[in-house]
Amino acid sequence: MEDLTPLTNLQQIPIPEGAARKKKMTERQPLLLQSDASDYEASRGPARPARSSPPDNTLVNVHSEDSIAASASGSGDEDQAAVDKGSYNPSLHRTLEHPTSNSETLVHLLKGNIGTGILAMPDAFKNAGLYVGLFGTLIMGAICTHCMHMLVNCSHELCRRLQQPALDFSDVAYCSFETGPLGLRRYSLLARRIVTTFLFITQIGFCCVYFLFVALNIKDVMDHYYKINVHIYLLIMLMPMIVLNLVRNLKYLTPVSLIAALLTVAGLAITFSYMLHDLPDVHTVKPIGTWATLPLYFGTAIYAFEGIGVVLPLENNMRTPDDFGGTRGVLNTGMVIVACLYTSVGFFGYLKYGEDVKGSITLNLPQGDALSQLVRLTMAVAIFLSYTLQFYVPVNIVEPFVRSHFDTTRAKDLAATILRTVLVTFTFLLATCIPNLGSIISLVGAVSSSALALIAPPIIEIITYYHVGYGRYNWMLWKDFLILIFGLCGFVFGTWASLAQILNDRTH
């Protein structure tokens, strides 16, 4: 990869002769979902700085999981260790070659959340009813944002506890179990692998939906002139998508994300002009959906808040990570914008088109109108460019493991290029098998997004703060249990309803 690294740029540290062997993090093993061969061999641990280093130094060392356990249990002077851990600031020990500014992070956060999900919100409101969808989406946004804060706070707590500069999602899961109750420490590797698996499934699902969304919108435009099977458009998109995803440094893709964000804003603005024109009375649509379709709403809504997988990588790569959290931080600012957009698009889209609303609101716009055709193309290009940010997560789960099987830099880079090509092609093949855009969005949301956004964070927080305490009257524990139950119900019923709808679509 050379200097083209997704989220952080970390150089190798030579191991002195005779020293105990330590795992090395290279530029090819970024903080974004570090997952190398040692993860599969149960011998890997998160990053730890070898020494305090100046901002331009990118030397980072990686210790084994045994060292994490030793750090958690304590060694030597425990009082002095407690002082050191209490004063340790993880952000001061991060050495990044290409850190991102607050505005760049906000752009990436918006693009990590605003994708095909926002255009599927009117279909979600159809399943929930107008008023249930209105209040449900705002509540869902608040819960998902709180879970993102939970994940970031647990990451900071574990970084201070273990004196690590940064952790990713799977590392947070691992370290929470490894430093938690003694009876749970045996499941630390399992926790890491479960989170990694759901991250991979979720992001691959997003990529498949993105592929299909772009193809369907282009087809909808071209059908006005001549009809071609949607699979042809998928095939035409394949090669440009492969080329775009060979770029490995997220900072170099900031202009791409910015262009995608501007196109999305323009497309949404024009879509709003259509939705708000000649709005019918609210009594023309149902205020409350049925119990049978409510799980479909949950799946689509939780899919829409799709950015938890990129929260820690973005925070880890910031120049000023202290600005990420807080009441007026980057995370809250971005998620308030996201929640308001989701609610508005869902409310007015369903009110405008009623029960005829489709899996993407752009497909409901007038067929022969030039401006509506432009909106479809604009949103198709925006989602096409947004594919790269979603693709970073699954490719960096697998890439370190693949690269570890080769010796030379040239062979490693060639293997990484082939892997990216294969993964993009894999999402293309899955997209060709998707029967219905709305159903698959709901399924991906119910299965994977709920597991990552609503189930994993409360479990991690409960275990992380086991030795610290849960506050007065154990309020944190009760709050986490409520979120966990909510996520599990959505997972079970949302998956069941989505699969039932997909099977029903295939029989008709």
Alpha-carbon span 437 to 182, nearest angstrom: 45
User: Distance from CA of residue 45 to its chain's centroid?
Assistant: 22
* Beta carbons within 10 angstroms of residue 310's beta carbon: 24
Q: Which domains, from first to last, does the chain contain?
A: 100-507 (1.20.1740.10)
Token output for 63: 């210790």
Which tens digit of pLDDT belongs to each residue from 122-132? 999 999 999 99
Task: Write down the mean pLDDT value for the chain.
Answer: 79
Which tens digit of pLDDT belongs to each residue from 317-343? 888 888 898 888 899 999 999 999 899
Alpha-carbon span 382 to 265, nearest angstrom: 9
Please answer whether residues 417 and 340 qualify as being in contact, where contact means their C-beta atoms are separated by less than 8 angstroms: no
Task: Choose from 183-187, 222-226, 302-306 the range with maximum mean pLDDT.
Answer: 183-187
Q: CA angle at residue 87 from 84 to 88, to 5 degrees?
A: 80
Q: CA angle at residue 330 from 328 to 331, to 5 degrees?
A: 95
Alpha-carbon span 68 to 61, nearest angstrom: 13
Q: pLDDT higher for 24 or 215?
A: 215
Which tens digit of pLDDT belongs to each residue from 390-402? 787 788 888 888 9
Token output for 491: 């997972």
pLDDT reported for residue 86: 58
**504 CB contacts (<8 Å, ≥6 apart)?**
none
Alpha-carbon span 260 to 297, nearest angstrom: 26
Please answer whether residues 331 and 307 qualify as being in contact, where contact means their C-beta atoms are separated by less than 8 angstroms: no
Residue whose C-alpha is closest to residue 31's, from 7, 56, 1: 7
* Beta carbons within 10 angstroms of residue 481's beta carbon: 13
Integer distance in angstroms from the first to the last C-alpha of the chain?
48
**161 CB contacts (<8 Å, ≥6 apart)?**
71, 72, 85, 175, 179
Residue 375 has pLDDT above 70, yes or no: yes
pTM score? 0.75
Which tens digit of pLDDT belongs to each residue from 309-319? 788 888 888 88
Dihedral of CA atoms 439, 494, 461, 329 in degrees, nearest 10, equals 40
User: Distance from CA of residue 424 to its chain's centroid?
Assistant: 17
Dihedral of CA atoms 448, 449, 452, 454 in degrees, nearest 10, equals -120
Mean pLDDT value across residues 136-159: 93
Residue whose C-alpha is closest to residue 189's, from 297, 301, 46, 60: 46
pLDDT reported for residue 508: 57
DSSP string, 174-220: HHHHHTS-GGGGGGHHHHHHHHHHHHHHHHHHHHHHHHHHHHHHHHH
- CA distances from residue 46 to 6, 12, 164, 322 in whole angstroms, order as listed: 17, 15, 7, 21
Cβ burial, residue 187 (10 Å; 0-12/13-18/19+): middle
Name the pLDDT band for 220 (thresholds 50, 70, 90).
Answer: confident
Please answer whether residues 195 and 452 qualify as being in contact, where contact means their C-beta atoms are separated by less than 8 angstroms: yes
Per-residue DSSP letter, 226: -
Alpha-carbon span 483 to 463, nearest angstrom: 15
DSSP string, 75-133: -S-HHHHHHHHHH--GGGG---SS-B-HHHHHHHHHHHHSSHHHHTHHHHHHHH-HHHH
Alpha-carbon span 388 to 508, nearest angstrom: 35
Q: What are phi and psi of 430, to 5 degrees?
A: -65, -40
Alpha-carbon span 393 to 263, nearest angstrom: 23
Which tens digit of pLDDT belongs to each residue from 416-457? 899 999 999 998 988 887 767 777 788 888 888 888 989 999
pLDDT reported for residue 507: 60
Per the listing, tokens 């425990």 go with: 78
Please answer whether residues 432 and 234 qualify as being in contact, where contact means their C-beta atoms are separated by less than 8 angstroms: yes
pLDDT reported for residue 418: 92
Mean pLDDT value across residues 272-291: 87
Token output for 183: 């009876």
Token output for 498: 């989505």
Alpha-carbon span 117 to 114, nearest angstrom: 7
Mean pLDDT value across residues 111-133: 85
Residue 48: in which H helix or E strand, if any? strand 47-48
Cβ burial, residue 146 (10 Å; 0-12/13-18/19+): middle
